[in-house]
Structure 1
Amino acid sequence: MQRLGDADPRTAGPYALVGRLGAGGMGAVYLGRSAGGRTVAVKVVRPELANDAGFRDRFRREVAAARRVSGAFTAPVLDADTDADVPWMATAFVVGVSLHEAVAAHGPLPKDALLMLTAGLAEALTAVHGARVIHRDLKPGNVLLALDGPRVIDFGIARATDGTALTSTGAVIGSAPYMSPEQATGQPLTAASDLFALGSTVAFAAGGRSPFGDGGAAAGVLFRVVHTEPDLDALPPELRPLIARCLAKEPRERPTPREVIDFVERGDRTSPHEGWLPGAVAADVLAVRAVMTALPAPEPTRVLDPPTQDLRGGSSGRGPGRRNLILGLAAGALAAAGVGTAVALNGDGSGSDGGASSGVSGRPAGARSRPSGNDVTEAKVAWQVKQPATCPQVVSAGGVVACVSLNEIWGLDDQGRTRWSVKGPDHGVQFSVQGPTPKAIAAVDGGRLYVAALAAPTAADLSFRSTVLGLGLSDGKDVWTAGLDTPPTMGAMFLPGIRDGKAYVAVMLRTAGSAATPTGYGIWALDLASRKTAWFHGGEPLLAHFALPPAGDRMLIGDTGHLKGLDAKGAEAWTQSVTSAAVGAVGRYGVVVDTSGTLTVLDPATGKKVWSMPGVEGAALRGGVVAANPDGSVLYALLADGDGGLTLAALDTANGTKRWTAPLPLDGTKSSTVRARLLYADKTLYRMDSTAVVWACDPADGRPLWKYTGLRGTDPANLAWAAGDGRLCISDTAATTVAALHANGA
């Protein structure tokens, strides 16, 4: 982490740095250009880490690992200086999008693409293993999809097979859903470990999820990797035998990369070399290429404008020229070192000419013109702290900011100082945290904090049972836990909310007598006063959506194809088929936005439509597709405009009448996973845009009150936020920082 006020570097060796691509725990990745015009991705170590001899050695080893690998399906190192005052490494810039984001945005890959992906990953591993290196972190986020095939990136935790350590002791050893059984149990690794990761990665590409499930804490996922069989149903029949071999528990039973390539070459492919990507994914790649070809040459006298305050502790630079070149891209697409999601090469959030006029195509006649946002006041950070671990949820209430990590909860005061902490292992639990992904696992009610948790396994019961831990918010005391014993579960996944003294918890089911065999999902309603189960609804094959109307006694649940209403006893009251992109609740109503962009307000008791409206931006990141005022009478949503921008609208919840509309500054991307994110608290309506700029708006008319640009360029998928108690709190899970801004921005 750079300190507040530190400037972005302007050069790294012979490369001019024309814009920040992303940032992570080690440093930042920049788009660089040589004097001859070559475009590269440059990883620059954080300045304070450069003074750490041990960390500098680790970076040298990473560079050494990456240098050893060269192949058509990897991103080679072009230059590096590990002895510079601030060490850096330049790699080939891959014009592509990450497999993880491509599948998230457009769904699983078709058969031919899967076959080429499999062969390409095997080709990459041939080069990696030929250099006597084990990658150790092959996963969808470290695979880039380019027009001419996949690329494997990020050798930050690689290890040589000749006895030369390429990571330091204690470094992160992989990503749980894609680790091999021997890696999960800390056994010595061979190159066969990467073949297991290849199998898991291809299975993800075919089904959109890890073959061992993504739900629950990392420990639970690793247990399934070691002890259960993978789910390969989504794979085409031609690939299942090969991927099953890759996922064999015994390393010696897995194929070699050459055997994988031979298997694919024997198969029947329609077009094995040209046009391998689905059209929608190829269009994303072409959009990246279009941005790069339009990129102006670096200005000779100034590469990066003076920085603004950066919540992460870094800075927010502005690239040369005045064209808006902000494009929401997949994780890793613009960072061959595997860091970041969005590129902000101009970074002012405005349109290409500083703001569109009222005559912009797609805007109705007489509508308010789209503002540039340049004249909106920049907010100040009230405080910022570095946390010992990732906090995927923050809660702000009662003078306390609660930060939840895997094994500990911290209560911070109004200055960001730790007031109290509660360690999960002290109470026999760990909290429902898996990786840095923001998720709803905690809620406040009656001055107490309740957190979804997993009870630690015992000799008599090896599973991670579903648990809720409660504690006093003001002092972290009076801690208790309540568990769900029947039916048998594998752990709590989410805590959708608390209403009328009941906590509603999403859990993963298992077969009785089995430690780690998921059989479905359910909703557990826990009475907080008695600490006993009020009701349980189970038998769902998948749970993707939850909504708890604050008024009434109903609940909405569903997957991407169905929506159900549960009554006051957890019984299914109705069900309907709907391809929902997001589900929410406002007042006594349910809200659904389908994949066509139609918002429907419905009666949660019957599922009947109250009113609907097309043209809504509905794909929300971690919830927040709509927001509402305290009494639920006004619903706030984002409307998609014809010019690619958005308009903020205040709608009457009862009938859909527009109270006002306010065009928003262009954030420059149509990414379907990050544009709709709203939050209401303290008479302020907050919006986080796709470039991670936060806007505070007046809920009376949508007028911007202030903005915070210190996070611009951060991957919004790594940002958890909460508002209330007079402040907005943001947790950057990648940087493990938590910061607060006052509701008035001052």
Structure 2
Amino acid sequence: MLSPLREDSPRRIGPYAIRARLGAGGMGEVFLGDRGDGSGPAAVKTVRRDVAQDPGFRNRFRREITVARSVTGPRLAPLLDGDADAEVPWLATEYVAGPTLSAAVRGAGAMGGPEVRMLGAGLALALAAVHAAGIVHRDVKPGNVMLAADGPRLIDFGIARDPGGTPLTTTSRMVGSPAFMSPEHVAGSGRVVPASDVFCLASVLCYAATGRDPFGDGPVAAVLYRVKYVEADLTEVPEGLRAVLEECLTADPAARPTAAALAGLLAPGAADGWPAPVTGQIAEYRRELARVGALDGPLLPGYTPTEAATGSREAPRHPTVATDFVLRPPQTPAPAPAPEQTAPPRSRRRRNLLAALAALVLLGAATGALLALREGGRGGGDPKEPAAVLAGIDAQGGREGAGTVPYGRDVRPAGWHTWQGKVTGRPFGCAAGRDVLVCRTTAGSYEALSPSDGKKLWDYSARLDADEVGARISPTGQVFMPSGSTRPAVYGDQVLLATGGRIVSLDSRTGEPRWDTRAGSTHGFESAPLVADGLVFADIGPTPQGAQVAAFDLATGKEKWRKPLVGDNLAKVDEYDFWPLTTRDGVLYLRGQDGLRALRTKDGAELGRREEGQDSRCYDALIRAPHVYCAAYTYADDGPHMAVQRLRIPSLASDGEIPLPDGVTDDAALAAVDDHVVVLVRTGLPWAEDDIDPEIVLAGRDDGRILARYPLDRRSFSDPVNAVSLPVIVADTLVWADSTSLYSVALHGTGKPGPLRTTALKGAPGPETRKDYDTLQWGNVLSDEVLPPEVLPVGGAVYVIQHGGQVLSVPLPGASAS
């Protein structure tokens, strides 16, 4: 639906007067435009000014316009105009007054067989025209199908590719949507062919006929497994339609009908109009368009189209995004003022903290191995144990994954002194204890250093497949790690690795194996090992049924129990497997598709559960007795909003939330919680609508009162990039780092912050320039991206691991060893 223009929205783009806003995404915004010459409304797609500063992008965008002009035919939203050389590039296509197919099915339910045939025949004709122009669409999904009064329209050529030419707008990260991919998408972007579009169209038609995707629900990894092996469920598809779709959903692309042939197969028995509920939805879009057209100027804040026509007040509507834009992390430069705008631009700069890691957290699921910033690896065990003596430390601290680390000289490595060292590869996930500092690299291997002096102790690498090219976000949006290697875990004198489909226990000083346990004949481990109560926990997958969580004996590696964890919501695909997050008092807490769960560590019995909806997700869970603190996100037109909820342990029953002031949690992440404070990181993430300067916010744990705010000088939208680590609380000191310095704030035992202290890091690399390369073939190669450093405090020593491989060991500023 249409929404009002913002204060800084453009009023004119090229020849188009801008009348309303249609939506936004990571690449830019879409507006309703009118040339004033009677040619009708247009959907005007703009590109963020910062992205447009890349000459390579302009060339690709220019080619996209050329390709869109070359594709003509029925059931396509035609290109009307465009300018890749404008200060802010733009293109305009026909505006389709109607819902997307996904919105129509959500609002009106599944369609009958004749209506699905009508839909499919029209879209097959559109694909035939696309393929005749030598183009593969590659993202046929319900969100890219618009329903107009006279039939469907296929939209969005933003990720299309000419099989004989160069890629188009490769700043897009997602090429295909997991629930509507083909086996060729899963195999790799370079293998996608016109027959892949036919496969995806068949999935879309199954969705229209049943309201469900034929490859089911569950974590992305499980869905991609079913897609790869074509394990489709067509039992609810009307019988007369099933045989046609089965022919399209065959594993062999050569055996599928062409798009033109499919149109012929679907035409017999097709309806001549939409079902009544869909017709009603389309009529509302057309009425709203007429109301905006009756205004003397653009639709502005405070008014809705209904109000403009009738004088009545209604709640503002959130727009339906007609064209999906997708984020390419971590290169997320700052948007500048919109094109040819008459409204003044916002003065605040748009910067992004932890863009790469945030993108991985929100979007990073994989068939090979699932990566995440908070990927497990926290220690657990008996709370009476000396803090951090047995359990190692990772980027979110130790113990209960609360972003906190106990301080004590008793765990400082013997003979420790300040030092500078080097990990040979690019580190991506590290852990440390009294005897070892070990990092996974983007090559899937592990390297261990002495925490006392930085000398290399050992390395470990599972056998790599010949076609593995390093950690990457694939062109299909999934995160892959060679050998499925996850973040390491340190526990006492053991290092636990999940790699090559196995969990391996190594001696922390020598790297010699103690035991080696396979996940299964065809499965690997999807999460880092989590150690507690003499057990090692890990998520096993992908399997056609989704995730399984297993417990292994810490001393022998023998499997003690395994529990299937299948999602209850069968109408969605989820990006997350069931990750073991943390433990306390004999209870294992996991995050997964349908919410948080609490399992008894000794046998996997369920003790508690927090149910979630798609619009309120608990992405982080930090334990500080007697609560689990849940960072629950809801999503609105202006971006994500977070509430820090308290859940009782172990039942996970709600116990209210921290009363944080309005606006503080917009675009925020929950980093740490202790007895007095919560630490939030406001990121200014690229999908948010409002400008947000990144900052660390310190608030009272009980009353939500803001205690301090620390602006971050974050240059993530332009080279060189100065990436910032997660903050962590070390006893009474808040600590974080960037590529030049270590920052610390004393909390004085009460949460009352002292002054910010900056300590220059000798040997730090400084801001780093991100490599410019073609992402379409292999996706985003993490070794070529600029990722934040990790801060691991152990016994008053602080280890800062930079993404370039530099490891710097310094004393914790402003704290006394005791």
TM-score normalised by the chain length of structure 2: 0.53
2:58 to 56, 59, 82: 56
**Alignment partners' CA distance in 2, 1:39 and 1:741:** 47
**Alignment partners' CA distance in 1, 2:195 and 2:254:** 7
Distance 1:260 1:76, change over 3 A: same
**Alignment partners' CA distance in 1, 2:169 and 2:658:** 57
**Alignment partners' CA distance in 2, 1:147 and 1:709:** 50
Whichever residue aligns with residue 681 of structure 1, its letter is: V
**Alignment partners' CA distance in 2, 1:164 and 1:97:** 33
Q: Does 1:31 align with 2:34?
A: no
1:592 to 610, 613, 621: 610
Distance 1:21 1:739, change over 3 A: farther
Partner of 1:423: 443
**Alignment partners' CA distance in 2, 1:98 and 1:158:** 19
Could you tell me how far 1:186 is from its partner in structure 2? Answer: 7.7
Partner-residue secondary structure (3-state), 2:85: coil
Could you tell me how far 1:245 is from its partner in structure 2? Answer: 0.7
Could you tell me how far 1:79 is from its partner in structure 2? Answer: 1.1
Partner of 1:608: none
Distance 1:651 1:675, change over 3 A: same
Whichever residue aligns with residue 630 of structure 1, its letter is: R
1:335 to 320, 323, 326: 323
**Alignment partners' CA distance in 2, 1:677 and 1:101:** 29
Whichever residue aligns with residue 175 of structure 1, its letter is: G
Could you tell me how far 1:273 is from its partner in structure 2? Answer: 1.9
Could you tell me how far 1:244 is from its partner in structure 2? Answer: 1.0
CA contact 1:409–1:422 (8 Å) conserved in 2: yes
Whichever residue aligns with residue 323 of structure 2, its letter is: A
**Alignment partners' CA distance in 1, 2:514 and 2:279:** 48
CA contact 1:19–1:32 (8 Å) conserved in 2: yes
Deviations 1:511-531 (A, max 9, x none): xxxxxxx36642122455655
Partner of 1:350: none
Deviations 1:622-662 (A, max 9, x none): 635xx66611347679899xxx9999687683896769857
Q: Does 1:536 align with 2:540?
A: no
**Alignment partners' CA distance in 2, 1:479 and 1:97:** 60
CA contact 2:161–2:168 (8 Å) conserved in 1: yes
Could you tell me how far 1:247 is from its partner in structure 2? Answer: 1.6
Partner of 2:428: 410
Partner-residue secondary structure (3-state), 2:541: strand
Partner of 1:585: none
Partner of 1:44: 47
**Alignment partners' CA distance in 2, 1:656 and 1:139:** 37
**Alignment partners' CA distance in 2, 1:188 and 1:652:** 46
CA contact 2:215–2:233 (8 Å) conserved in 1: yes
Whichever residue aligns with residue 142 of structure 1, its letter is: N
Partner-residue secondary structure (3-state), 2:153: strand
Deviations 1:120-158 (A, max 9, x none): 422321332344433233234534456765432222343
Partner of 2:137: 135
**Alignment partners' CA distance in 1, 2:641 and 2:255:** 53
Whichever residue aligns with residue 230 of structure 1, its letter is: A
Note the aligned Cα RMSD (angstroms).
6.5
Partner of 2:373: 394
Q: Does 1:702 align with 2:704?
A: yes
CA contact 1:204–1:211 (8 Å) conserved in 2: no
CA contact 2:497–2:529 (8 Å) conserved in 1: no
Partner of 1:158: 160
Whichever residue aligns with residue 427 of structure 1, its letter is: A
Distance 1:46 1:379, change over 3 A: closer
**5 Å matches for 1:136-535?**
136-144=138-146, 150-160=152-162, 167=168, 174-175=175-176, 177=178, 178-181=180-183, 184=187, 191-203=194-206, 206=210, 208-209=212-213, 211=215, 215=219, 225=227, 227-267=229-269, 272-275=273-276, 277=278, 297=297, 333-335=321-323, 392=364, 393-395=372-374, 410=428, 421-424=441-444, 427-428=462-463, 436=477, 455=500, 465=501, 484-485=517-518, 487-494=520-527, 499-500=532-533, 502-508=535-541, 518=544, 521-527=547-553, 530-531=556-557, 533-535=559-561
Partner of 1:550: 583
Partner of 1:13: 14
TM-score normalised by the chain length of structure 1: 0.57
Partner of 1:681: 673
**Alignment partners' CA distance in 2, 1:666 and 1:291:** 36
Partner-residue secondary structure (3-state), 1:151: strand
**Alignment partners' CA distance in 1, 2:529 and 2:238:** 35
Distance 1:96 1:629, change over 3 A: farther
How many residues get paired?
A: 585
Q: Percent identity between the aligned chains?
A: 26
Whichever residue aligns with residue 69 of structure 1, its letter is: V
Distance 1:421 1:449, change over 3 A: farther
Whichever residue aligns with residue 561 of structure 2, its letter is: W
Q: Does 1:653 align with 2:648?
A: yes
Unpaired runs of 5+ in structure 2? 1-7, 301-312, 329-334, 338-345, 365-371, 379-392, 398-424, 432-438, 446-460, 465-469, 718-724, 739-778, 792-818
Distance 1:410 1:709, change over 3 A: closer
Could you tell me how far 1:246 is from its partner in structure 2? Answer: 0.8
Distance 1:740 1:324, change over 3 A: farther
Partner-residue secondary structure (3-state), 2:125: helix
Q: Which has the larger radius of gyration?
A: 2
